[in-house]
Structures are given as C-alpha cells and as structure tokens.
Chains A and B, each alone.
Chain A
Amino acid sequence: MEMLLMGACLSLFGLAVTCLAFGAATRTEEPSAVEARPAVAKAAVASPARFFVSPAIIPMAEHAQVPIEALLLQIESHVRLEQAAAESFLQTPTPALLHSKTISPLVN
C-alpha cells in the first residue's frame, strides 16, 4: 500500500515538474511575440491624424500584406507628392522647402 502511494506521489511530482517545464518553455516564446506587437502599434501611432488624409494609412511593417495594386497606387501617390514638393522647392529654392516633410503613407 505504502509503495503504491509513494508511486502515485512520485507520478504526481513528475507530472508537476513536466507541467512547469512545459510552462517555462512556452513562456520563453511569448515575450518576442509581445515585443513584436508594440512595434506595429508604434508604427501606427507614429503617423499622426491629419485633415484631408485618408485614415487608412498602412505602416511599412504591414506592406507585405498589401495587394500589389494598392502598393502601386501608394507608390504613384508618393511620387506625385514628392514631385509637388520638388516643384515647390524649384519655385523657391530654400533648404526648408527641400527638407519639408511628406505626408506620403509610403514613408510614414
């Protein structure tokens, strides 16, 4: 009887150790996943709300999921904005106009 109880206790102890080891092993993966999320969140937060700008701003980190047609439209919009900025600079060549920030979602 005592041997049976001891065997049962050892089995329970072994199971507990296994559970702890499993928990520890799975916990080591979680921090990286948790770290990845704030990066995306930061990217989303980094683009402040602006008037007359489409709210559907897609951060660079998520570009892999963007359909190619949408990406081509983003590139076209970016080129048009950059040309407008360059034209402003050529009309009044000042460092401020040359370095003016873009609202292009492709780089924000």
Chain B
Amino acid sequence: MTNGQPELLRGLPPDEADRVLSLGKRLNLTSGAELFHMGAPADSLYLVSQGRIKLTLPMQIRGNQQDVFVEERTPGETVGWSALIPPHQFTLTATAPLQTEVIAFSREALLAHCAAFPAIGYAISVNLAAVVGQRLQLFQAMWLREMERMVELRCA
C-alpha cells in the first residue's frame, strides 16, 4: 500500500481503518489475470495494495472488438465501486498488467460493518462519493476536449 490511508478509508482513525481492512481478503493476481469482467455481477469492492489494475472497455476497431484502455488504478485506490451501487454490475473490465495484490471486500461484509458503525459507514460513503465524483469530473473534461476536436474537424 502507499504511504497514508487508502482513498476509501480516508479520515478514519487508524484503528477503525484497520478494522475495515480486516474485513477484506487479499487476492494475488498474476500478470494478465482478469479481476472482473464488464457485465458480471459486482459483489466485491477492491482496494489495490500492490501493482496496478487496468480498466478497459470494448471498442470496435476496423470491424473487430478490442479492449481499449480507459483508466489505471494504483496502490491505495479503489476499484469496483459498482459493488456498492445498484444495479451491482461491473461496467468495465479490470485486469492486472503486472503481478498485483488487491484487498477484496464483499458487499455484505462491508454493508454490515457500515450498518453496525454508522460513523464509519458515513466516512466510507463520503470517500466513495469523492471517488465517483472525481471520475465523473475527469471524464466530463475529457469528453469536452474530444467534442471540441470533433467540432474543429467538422468546421475545418
């Protein structure tokens, strides 16, 4: 893990953060291994503890479907927040481009802990909203830049 707390546990006292981390199960992924596939049921949320997770989407290129790079998650970052948000289906495919370790939290365990300790549940919700919001803002800016280029090409 990186220095400091994982983004999902930011703001939690160290003992409470450790208690949440103890709910997780460490998974080791070999290079090229798939963590989850787009469209699959999202039952677990993951924290990257070592290595990297590459997120891809299928794109039609020259009549063939190819997985295209969308984002990369590094140690301390969260992957698979669809596990906590209905309809609980992954919207991207996640693979490990190198030897990677993630901590998997089952939805049931995480939600039960959050229900038992509402202050922790609140902090996790706020952190999760920050992750989702940051991604939304990032892709809004990227979308606008692509639109701008498309309009430029149209008007050229």
Contacts and interface: CB of A to CB of B under 8 A. Distances in A.
A79 interface: yes
A95 to B, nearest CB: 11
Interface in B114-156: 134, 137-139, 141-142, 144-146, 148-149
A79 B142 CA distance: 9
Interface in A28-76: 68, 71-72, 75-76
A98 B61 contact: no
Nearest to B138: A86
A27 interface: no
B68 A75 contact: yes
B66 interface: yes
A75 B69 contact: yes
B138 to A, nearest CB: 5
A68 B71 contact: no
Interface in B61-119: 61-62, 64, 66, 68-71
Interface in A60-108: 68, 71-72, 75-76, 79-80, 82-83, 85-87, 89-90, 98-99, 102, 107
A79 B70 contact: yes
Interface of A: 68, 71-72, 75-76, 79-80, 82-83, 85-87, 89-90, 98-99, 102, 107
5 contacts: A68-B66, A72-B66, A87-B138, A90-B134, A107-B149
